[in-house]
Chain A
């Protein structure tokens, strides 16, 4: 099993540009999570999908952030427009359910200049 796949691994962009992060969960997992990690705020849950449906998006910081899960094998997190304070490592994780082990992808390190 390839595990959770995220792309790109690193992204450097200028303020105001659109950024799209991608995630492929482990086959058979029906829960998908997007997290953001910074030194100041730690590991924060942004949004959580179950069976491709967004269940809890209370962690999405503002309207500039959006996430989609068009099918069971693909999800995107989009930031438009990006700002320097969005710089962080973004992790995607998947599991068979919320109260089960989550498998994290390698993360995308985003730098907004």
Chain B
């Protein structure tokens, strides 16, 4: 079951903040965040695991609410380089029993 991302698209001015949400109808083991620029491959941003562990880049922050089966990605003081499509990928069972199911993506445009 595909996670639902919101909003579908965001247009910001450089320096503004954004929040991208990812919600699931099933219990989650982990949530992965990736960014994809047009014509390129997705690039890893962060993983949030059940129990609170996080792995990712220092300049990116995110939250994972296990009870609500939701994750949010926080982009602060946005830069032009943040433009792209953000995908969350969800893992439902730990131990590698299943792969990632990605949402449809959130398109982020940063204007100067």
Contact = CB atoms under 8 A, between A and B. Distances in A.
Contacts of B34: 102
B87 A101 contact: no
Q: Does more than half of chain A's interface fall in helix, strand or loop, or is it mixed?
A: strand
Contacts of B47: 99-101
A42 B105 contact: yes
B101 A45 contact: yes
B91 A98 contact: yes
Which residue, B29, B41, B96, B99, has most C-beta atoms of chain A within 10 A?
A: B99
Contacts, number: 61
Measured as residues with beta carbon below 8 angstroms from the partner, the interface class of chain A is 20 to 34
Contacts of B96: 31, 50, 55, 97-99
Given A43-B87, A55-B96, A107-B41, A99 B49 contact: yes
Interface residues of B, number: 26
A42 B42 CA distance: 12
Contacts of A106: 40-41
A77 B41 CA distance: 18
12 contacts: A42-B104, A43-B102, A48-B98, A91-B41, A91-B42, A98-B99, A102-B32, A102-B34, A102-B44, A102-B100, A104-B41, A104-B42
Q: Which 5 A-B pairs have the closest CB atoms?
A: A104-B41, A48-B99, A98-B96, A43-B102, A101-B44
